[in-house]
Amino acid sequence: MAALDFLARKDIRLISSLGLPSWELSTYLAGRQGIELELIVPGPRFPEPGEQCERVLSDFRLDPGKTRLIFTGEGPPKSLLSLRDRLALEQAEVVYPVSLRPGGRLEKLLAECENGTIEIREEFRIDWSRSGWRPKYDFQARGLNPELKELDSGWLIHWTHSTPGRWPDEEPWRFYHDMLARPQNYVRDARSTLKRIVEQGILRGSAWKMPHSRKAVSLTALSPAASVPLMRWRKRYLRYSLEPFGLAFRCETTKSLGARPVRYFDPECRPRDQSERLFYQSAGRIGDWTLEKEWRFPGDLRLEHFSGDDLVLIAADPAQTAGLRRELNPRFRIMPLFAENVS
């Protein structure tokens, strides 16, 4: 932000791109500051690029009169990112490094340019850090809310997740706006996700890890108590497997709308019927996925189909429960998962 605030007062054209938060943040700030922008888009230009260009301009609130789009052309995704970085440096006259990973691709490309015609300015350079922020909970020796026993059977629960980036259906500019407005927060955390679901009245399906990339809502028939041991940090995916915020749906109502239990199969014997593939899941070669007792609902699940007796919201602890009640004033009950504060 400091670099872009400084450059906004200069007569410059900024070279930026899309596809990684560091590039997209610069792109968003250029639009917000009204900076002339040369935007490198990894990928081919469509035969009729009007809609493609309009989408990019809308996603980042860019001024079409101040934005020139440059397309890298076709190629494997990783090679396009390398090509993008090289194109950016080839076109630049001045480079302001901010935070470069030691030994990374950008640092190596910049070293190749040091003896050339590019001027490298260090006013805004900061140290690169491997550690990043992430949500954290303290479940150690915390007692469960005894009132949740009523959800032990006959209910399906969707546990929400934090995400290190924007929500799947969210315009990029909104995410970067909120991230900069609240830099002390993990702005798309599980609590915010639950709040958004209730405000919009839609639990949106995700294609992540789903067969044939079909969108579906993932639910579990596990009780809240049985779900807690699965709430662990997954370093590979940069998120918890489950987090202590969710929605509990009465099973019979959800089933009548189209939810079905997942059928687990031996990974060596894949199902032949691909029309029902959404409701099949490998039992796993290393981990045992059958323990999750998963159900799936195809597409998006609308809360309007559920009465106050058919849906219960779950928050991590008493403090979060009270906060969500004040902010949402929902027609559904909100119950804490733990009897003591954990988040």
Residue 334: per-residue pLDDT = 96
Which residues 6+ apart lie within 8 Å of 196 measured at CB? Answer: 167
- Which residue range is the domain that position 262 belongs to? 146-336
Q: Are residues 27 and 83 in the same domain?
A: yes
Question: Is-contact 110 97, C-beta < 8 A?
Answer: yes
Task: Assign residue 110 the CATH number of its domain.
Answer: 3.40.50
**Which neighbouring-strand residues pair with 39?**
16, 69
Q: Are residues 85 and 152 in the same domain?
A: no
Q: Are residues 181 and 288 in the same domain?
A: yes
pLDDT band, very low/low/confident/very high, at 2 (cuts 50, 70, 90): very high
The CA distance from 42 to 85, in Å, is 10
Residue 139: per-residue pLDDT = 82
Report pLDDT digits (tens) over 186-236.
Answer: 889 999 999 999 999 999 998 887 888 889 999 999 999 999 998 988 888
Q: Are residues 183 and 262 in the same domain?
A: yes
Residue 224: per-residue pLDDT = 96
What angle is formed at CA 93 by the lines to CA 88 and CA 97, rounded to 5 degrees? 65
Both structure tokens of 40: 């490198």
The CA distance from 287 to 262, in Å, is 16
Q: Are residues 218 and 279 in the same domain?
A: yes
CB atoms within 10 A of CB 234: 10
Report pLDDT digits (tens) over 95-151.
Answer: 999 999 999 988 998 888 877 788 999 999 999 988 777 788 888 778 999 999 999
Q: How far is CA 340 from CA 15, 125, 129, 139, 315, in A?
A: 50, 43, 33, 9, 12
Residue 275: per-residue pLDDT = 66
Q: Is the pLDDT score of 282 beyond 90?
A: no
Report pLDDT digits (tens) over 308-340.
Answer: 999 999 999 999 999 999 999 889 999 999 998
DSSP-H helix ranges across 36-168: 50-60, 77-91, 105-113
Residue 323: per-residue pLDDT = 96
The mean pLDDT value for 287-302 works out to 88
Report pLDDT digits (tens) over 61-75.
Answer: 999 999 999 999 999
Say how many domains are in the chain: 2
Q: Are residues 163 and 42 in the same domain?
A: no
Higher-confidence residue of 267 and 208: namely: 208
User: Is residue 326 a part of any domain in this protein?
Assistant: yes
Q: List the single range of 117-126, 185-194, 243-252, 270-279 with lowest mean pLDDT.
A: 270-279
Q: Is the pLDDT score of 176 beyond 80?
A: yes
pLDDT band, very low/low/confident/very high, at 294 (cuts 50, 70, 90): very high
Handedness of CA 74, 76, 81, 83 (dihedral sign): negative
